[in-house]
Chains A and B, each alone.
Chain A
Amino acid sequence: MEPLDIELDEGELELPNDPMQVNMGPAHPAMHGTVRMVVELSGETITKVDVQIGYLHRGFEKMCERGTWTQVFPYVDRLNYASPMLNNVGFALAVEKMLGVTVPERCQHYRVVLGELARICDHLVCSGAMAMELGAFTPFLYFCKARELIWDVFEEETGARVTHSFGRVGGMAKEPTPAFKEMVRNALPAVRALIDDGEKLLLANRIFLDRIENVGVMPKDLAVALGWTGVVLRSTGVPYDVRKVHPYLTYDRYDFDVPVGTRGDNYDRFMCRQEEIRQSTRIIEQALEQMADEGPINIDDPRIVLPPKDEVYSTIEGTIQHFKIVMEGIKVPAGECYSYTEAGNGELGFYMVSDGSGTPYRVRIRPPCFATMQGIEKMIVGGMVPDVVPTFGSVNMIGGECDH
């Protein structure tokens, strides 16, 4: 090409190329209101990112040190609010581990069914929100509708749509309602049909696929070192599922598969979630099959479980027992324990220290998505700004749990 006939300072023609800082969130539609990312861009490529969490820190651990062990249940509900029942079960199991008791078999199946229903909701929320953030609003509505059907079951069982506070140490707050099995069996096919519909809409969509395939890739080794668990870890190809590897409740009696991914990108995470929903429905069907229609739900120990209401009102023993448990709390033997379950996002652990009184000395929650969020930085650096949205959506960051 002919040279220009005027002398030009090369630098003047170019756009300034020092990195540009862009702030995303916390009041950003894709950031769920609780995460702030300060990204440094070179052109459109992200070169550096500072992920700031903690906008929803609510002092969960401090609040636990104030009441009795049972009073922690409402707080655990609000950790991973997309699947409160799994947290309830997890915490109940942790305290039971410290007490050294096991709930009756019927209750174990009951917990499994409710827990798996909650897991379906959790995955639906994640996939739906991710789709919505990518502009696919219709599947979100389908998934919401499916979730609504499950919530109907929850409402019937527990009386609440979202925050059930239904778990108790040594059992559940109530017996299953007589129509429980039938209700779940009726709801499941409808839920599955809705999920299939929504999924079909998404997976036939080029734009959606282009935005999630090979985006946000996480290598296996790093995922393990970062402490990833749950779906996000399985999407990288590590078949670690607490339900399979360290079975709790009655999970060892059901036949189900653990879906794993291969690349650890957004597509794998999305597909693992969808497949897990199917596996959950399988577990639910088996658990319903195995669950007895009659039998106790709570363990038979007056120091742990509240007596039936009519005894409280008619006998002095019942009254005293009730009073002691409510006012002083369940006396958990001194010591420490770490109990872990598979929650919606991964291994939900509770590390608890008791000094032998009715109040926890320390309750530490090991939030799965806290560990996951650490990896975000690795996943989005090198990508484009629009990739942040699906990547962030696919790890299912739940503020209450991440920031506790």
Chain B
Amino acid sequence: MSKRVLDRLNQVFGDAILETHSQHGDDTAVVEASRWREVARFLRDDERCAMNHFIDLTAVDYSDRREPRYEVVLHIRSLEKLHRVRLKARIGEPPSIDSLAEVWAGANWFERECFDMFGVDFVGHPNLRRILLYPEFVGHPLRKDYPAQMTQPLVEYRPEAIGKLPPFSEHEGMPFGRQTHDRAAAHVNALGFTDE
């Protein structure tokens, strides 16, 4: 039903729309990263789109699987017309893209979260700082190369505190047939970066 939005985008922006698809009924358009804000603003202001309801903004790290590495994903909907669309933009290292905080007020925190978790730099964001983690934290945990186990404590542990002892490891309780997307874990264990 919101196919029409995709058609309209194709019509207006032409080659800035790299790709569109509607897998599982979710209409998706991949936008050239440099025109990110422009497309977003158009979707909000255009009468036939009227996508005024901000839903979600996040990113995915495709790590070594895909080039460019990051994909910023935006979900928006229209309150009156009830259609939804997903916009994506692919960006490489170091990740950086225009901020949408001035288009939808709601993007503000979602972009901060995205910065916190992936280190995506949103150009023009009024207040880009960490939101879920603390300022002392180094690195961006949802990148695939951040080891899930690596903690960065703020207070010193009591000397009596006992950490995990062998044979317990991070694979405890995990089915062996699963895949892990945590590429860094093995690496870090070799470096001796553990809980203790």
Residues of A that sit less than 8 Å from B by CB: 52-54, 57, 59, 61-63, 65-68, 71, 97-98, 100, 222, 224-229, 238, 240, 245-246, 326-329, 335-338, 340, 347, 349, 351, 353, 355, 357-359, 361-362, 364, 366, 370-371, 373-374, 403-404
**Partner-binding segment picked from B6-14, B34-42, B159-167, B175-183:** B175-183
| Interface size classification for chain B | 35 or more
Closest 4 CB pairs of A and B: A227-B106, A54-B132, A328-B177, A327-B177
Please tell me if the beta carbons of B24 and A68 are within 8 angstroms of each other in the complex.
no
Q: Is B128 an interface residue (CB 8 A)?
A: no
CA distance A373 to B181 in the complex (A): 31
15 pairs, A vs B, C-beta closer than 8 Å: A67-B174, A224-B53, A224-B54, A225-B54, A225-B105, A227-B104, A229-B55, A327-B178, A335-B24, A337-B26, A355-B65, A357-B179, A358-B179, A362-B60, A371-B110
Q: Is the CB of B75 within 8 A of A338?
A: yes
- Pairwise interchain contact A226-B56, C-beta atoms closer than 8 A: no
Chain A nearest CB from B137 CB (Å) reads 10
Give 12 new A-B contacts, CB below 8 A, not counting A66-B174, A225-B53, A359-B179: A62-B148, A65-B144, A71-B175, A224-B52, A225-B104, A226-B54, A229-B55, A328-B177, A328-B178, A336-B23, A351-B56, A351-B75
B29 at the interface (CB under 8 A from A): no
Check A370/B86 contact, CB under 8 A, given A61-B117, A62-B141, A362-B60: no
Tell me if A349 and B174 are in contact (CB < 8 A).
no
Point out the residues of chain A lying under 8 angstroms from B23, CB to CB: 335-337
A62-B142 contact given A225-B104, A338-B75, CB 8 Å threshold: yes
Q: What is the CA–CA distance of A59 and B24 in the complex, to the nearest angstrom? A: 27
Is B123 an interface residue, CB under 8 A from the partner?
A: no
Cross-chain contact A358 with B177 (CB below 8 angstroms): yes
The chain B residue with its CB closest to the CB of A358 is B178
Against A, the Cβ 8 Å flags (1 = close, 0 = not) of B38-62 are 0000000000000011111010110
Q: Is the CB of B105 within 8 A of A329?
A: no
Nearest B residue to A374 via CB reads B109
A132 to chain B, nearest CB (A): 27
| A66 x B180 contact (CB < 8 A) | yes
- Contact between B179 and A222, CB atoms less than 8 A apart: no
Q: Which B residues between 101 and 121 are near A, CB-CB below 8 angstroms?
A: 104-106, 108-110, 113, 117
CA distance A228 to B109 in the complex (A): 13
Roughly how many angstroms separate A206 CA and B134 CA in the complex, as a whole number?
42
Q: Let me know if A68 and B117 touch, CB within 8 A.
A: no
The answer to whether B79 touches A68 (Cβ under 8 A) is no
A58 CB to closest chain B CB (Å) equals: 10
Contact string, B167-190, partner A, CB cutoff 8 A, digits 1/0? 000000011111111100000000
Interface pair B108/A374, CB less than 8 Å apart: yes
Chain B residue at minimum C-beta to C-beta distance from A340: B55
A83 to B60, CA, bound (A): 28
Q: Please name the residue on chain B nearest to A56 by beta carbon.
A: B132
Contact of B79 among A238, A338, A370 (CB under 8 A): A238
- Find chain B residues with CB under 8 A from A62 CB: 141-142, 148
A403 nearest CB neighbor, chain B only: B132
Taking a contact as CB atoms under 8 Å apart, the answer to whether A226 and B106 are in contact is yes
Q: Are A361 and B177 in contact (CB under 8 A)?
A: no
Report Cα–Cα, A152/B140, bound state, in Å. 42
* B55 CB contacts on chain A under 8 angstroms: 227, 229, 340, 347, 349, 366
Which has the most chain A C-beta neighbours within 10 Å: B56, B108, B109? B56
